[in-house]
Amino acid sequence: MSQSKGFALVTGASSGIGAAYAARLAERGHDLILVARRLDRLESLADQLRGLYGRTVETVQADLANEPDVAQVENILSSHPNVQMLVNCAGLGALGPATSPAAAAVGGMLKVNVLALTQLSLAAAKRFAAAKSGTIINIGSVVAFMPVASAGGYSGSKAYVLNFSRALQAELAESNVTVQVVMPGPVRSEFFGDKPSPFPEHLFMDSEMLVDTALIALEQGEMVCFPNLQEIEAWQAVEAARGGLVKGFSQTGKPAPRYSK
């Protein structure tokens, strides 16, 4: 067995993208702490990865919409020996019309997609900054750029993940801590449950391919990764336009002339 690259704590490891991260990181020599609500799934994956790669794999049952459970995982990030990486994969999409009864689910989604991700990132950031080493990977979504009907809360949560992760990366740049935000398009997983996906089948990527691509991007030093964006110039144009916008509203505190009566 190769020497350990330290523990990676992966949330949402019971299915989809998180399970794929767990497998790929074990293959690359990481020991693992797997977090989700479905403990049976975590135990089964842990057995499989121990057998395949001989790594230490621990499991933690936690509902990340539940504050005491988040605090438990924060504590692990702060005190467990040799944690080198956090992958915030746990997430859900409470999709549907804002006026439907399902709107109540939006609050629960924000607890996982935004609050838990923030608290766990900050716990890891504090430890990694002190150690001057460590990696945080946060899973966003291209939906961050698609404020469409029936996805207001989800789109907003993923725009948050993008901005929060980038700001954290800027803050930790001097500390030798890496913060990567991964912005997948549609991925084959349990995300859509038994509901029909709003995207055509040809747009979907497998979870393993998504993770392999994002890990190559990480090695290449790409802190914002769009795995299926074929032309990076499209993202560069957004960045340039954003810079122009910031410049535009950094000129004066006066109302713009178009609002004069």
Ligand X SMILES: NC(=O)c1ccc[n+]([C@@H]2O[C@H](COP(=O)([O-])OP(=O)(O)OC[C@H]3O[C@@H](n4cnc5c(N)ncnc54)[C@H](OP(=O)(O)O)[C@@H]3O)[C@@H](O)[C@H]2O)c1
Could you say whether residue 91 binds ligand X (CB under 6 A)?
A: yes
Nearer to ligand X, 173 or 238 (CB): 238
Q: Please state the closest distance from residue 13 (CB atom) to ligand X, in A.
A: 6
Pinpoint the alpha helices (H) of 152-203.
152-172
Residues with catalytic roles: 154
Residues 213-252 that bind ligand X (CB under 6 A): none
- The dihedral sign for the CA sequence 141, 147, 150, 151: positive
Q: Please state the closest distance from residue 149 (CB atom) to ligand X, in A.
A: 18
Give DSSP secondary structure letters for 53-88: H---EEEEE--TTSHHHHHHHHHHHHHSTTEEEEEE
Could you say whether residue 189 binds ligand X (CB under 6 A)?
A: yes
Pinpoint the alpha helices (H) of the chain.
16-27, 39-53, 67-79, 104-110, 117-131, 152-172, 207-219, 233-248
Strand partners, 205: 187
Residues 104-163 that bind ligand X (CB under 6 A): 112, 139, 141
Could you say whether residue 184 binds ligand X (CB under 6 A)?
A: yes
Applying CB under 6 A, the residues found at the interface with ligand X are 12, 14-18, 36-38, 41, 62-65, 89-93, 112, 139, 141, 184, 186-187, 189-191
